[in-house]
Homo-oligomer: A and B are copies of this chain.
Amino acid sequence: MTRYFGVVEAGGTKFMCAIGTSDGELINETRIQTRSPSETMDDVIEFFREHGKGIVACGIGSFGPIDARESSPTYGHITSTTKVLWRDFDIVGFVKRALGVPVAFDTDVNAAALGEAVSGAARGIRNVVYVTVGTGVGGGAIVEGAVLHGLLHPEMGHIRVPHDWARDPFRGNCPYHGDCLEGLAAGRAIEARWGVSASAIARDHQAWVLEAEYLGLACANWICTLSPQKIIFGGGVMQSQMFPLVRERTRSLLNDYVDVPEITENIDSYIVPPLLGHRSGMLGALELAQRCVSLANSRS
């Protein structure tokens, strides 16, 4: 019998809501503009009251940082975000109270990594990194089939990479770290550096070679630290011309030290775009909701 789940991908500019089925389908996809928590969440709850009768659980993939440690007193909150209206908002508590179902919760990028691992570009692969390069830079990971948490959750957009000030005098615009990866390579940084939005920059502009330098350095660091079997890049900045540049830079930086054919010979199928397009995060949130129900059943 098909079961139904609530699905939310909470982003800084839009919330995507849908009803997901136990067959992995998404129905009634709806886009809600992100405003204040109360305005936004009223629309989210209204969507589920209208379309979500009979859902058995809800999965949320959210912009972060978030508190996803189940033992924490602030579990389910969005925490030190730069989106000040949302700071310390208890999104899990809000949805749980309004809908009366169990809620699974993770970062948007951990959810997207899970979605791609379950039915996308990393299907059947147990160790995956998913990175989005859009307004900001975020990364999530699956390790041996499970979403990576540890102390909190990955914040891969905030690693430090070498910054050649002679080549790139832009000082970086991450409000927490200045010239971390996000401060140098996010859409927001590209726009601040070149004075026009990333989407308005020609495909053969030097901006993309510099962008590939930073993303190549980041890939090399993620590979040396996490040893993923695949790296998936989504987000508006990752247009098709970026992939060959990032692959070549990553391979060249590693210089055959990580001596496996996936990198030395077949990097074209190692650093790839998502297969699920804009649905990676929602399908991951659906999987989170399904796993939370299975877990509850196995405990009872």
User: Which A residues are within 8 Å of any B CB, using their own CB?
Assistant: 65, 79-80, 126-127, 139, 141, 143-144, 146, 148-163, 176-177, 179, 217, 220-229, 253, 255-260, 262-263
* Docked-complex contact B143 and A257, CB < 8 angstroms: no
Stoichiometry, copies per complex: 2
Residue on B nearest A144 in the bound complex, by CB? B146
Contact B253 A177 (CB under 8 A): yes
Q: Contacts A160-B161, A160-B217, A162-B161 given: A223-B151 contact, CB under 8 Å? A: yes
- Are the C-beta atoms of B227 and A149 separated by less than 8 Å? yes
Chain A facing B: main interface SS: loop
Whether A257 lies near B80 (C-beta < 8 A) is yes
Q: Which residues of B contact A127 (CB under 8 A)?
A: 149-151
| A/B interface sample: 10 pairs, CB < 8 A | A65-B257, A148-B226, A151-B228, A151-B258, A151-B262, A151-B263, A156-B225, A159-B220, A160-B161, A225-B225
Contact of A224 among B80, B154, B217, B257 (CB under 8 A): B154
* A154 surroundings in chain B (CB, below 8 A): 224-227
Instruction: Give the docked Cα–Cα distance between A224 and B221 (Å).
Output: 11
Do A258 and B221 have beta carbons less than 8 Å apart?
A: no
The reply to whether A255 and B176 contact each other, CB–CB distance below 8 Å, is yes
Interface centre among A126, A222, A263 (most CB of B within 10 A): A222
Residue in B closest to A177 when the chains form the complex, CB atoms: B255
Tell me how far the C-beta of A2 lies from the nearest C-beta in chain B, rounded to whole angstroms. 31
Q: Is B150 within 8 A of A227, CB to CB?
A: yes
Q: Which partner residue on chain B sits nearest A225 by CB separation? A: B225
Is B65 a contact of A152 with CB atoms below 8 Å? no
| Chain B residues closer than 8 Å to A256, beta-carbon distance | 80, 176
Q: Is B227 in contact with A225, judged by CB distance below 8 angstroms?
A: no
Cα of A157 to Cα of B220 in the assembled complex, Å: 12
A224 touches B156 (CB 8 A): yes
Most buried by B among A162, A163, A226, A256: A226
Task: Give min CB distance, A1 to chain B, whole Å.
Answer: 32
Point out the residue from B155, B157, B260 that lies within 8 Å of A152, measured CB to CB: B260
Contact A159 B229 (CB under 8 A): no
Q: Which listed residue (B226, B228, B259) contacts A80, Cβ 8 A?
A: B259
Q: Is B260 in contact with A151, judged by CB distance below 8 angstroms?
A: yes
Taken together as a complex, chains A and B put the C-alpha atoms of A148 and B154 apart, in Å, by 15
A127, A160, A217: residue with the most chain B Cβ atoms closer than 10 Å? A160
User: Which residues of B lie under 8 Å from residue A224 when comparing CB positions?
Assistant: 154-159
Contacts of A139 in B (CB 8 A): 225
Does A227 lie within 8 Å of B148, measured CB to CB? Answer: yes
Query: Distance in Å from the Cβ of A21 to the closest Cβ of chain B?
Result: 29
Instruction: Give every chain B residue within 8 A of A158 (Cβ-Cβ).
Output: 220, 224, 257
Most buried by B among A151, A179, A262: A151
- A163 / chain B contacts, CB cutoff of 8 Å: 162
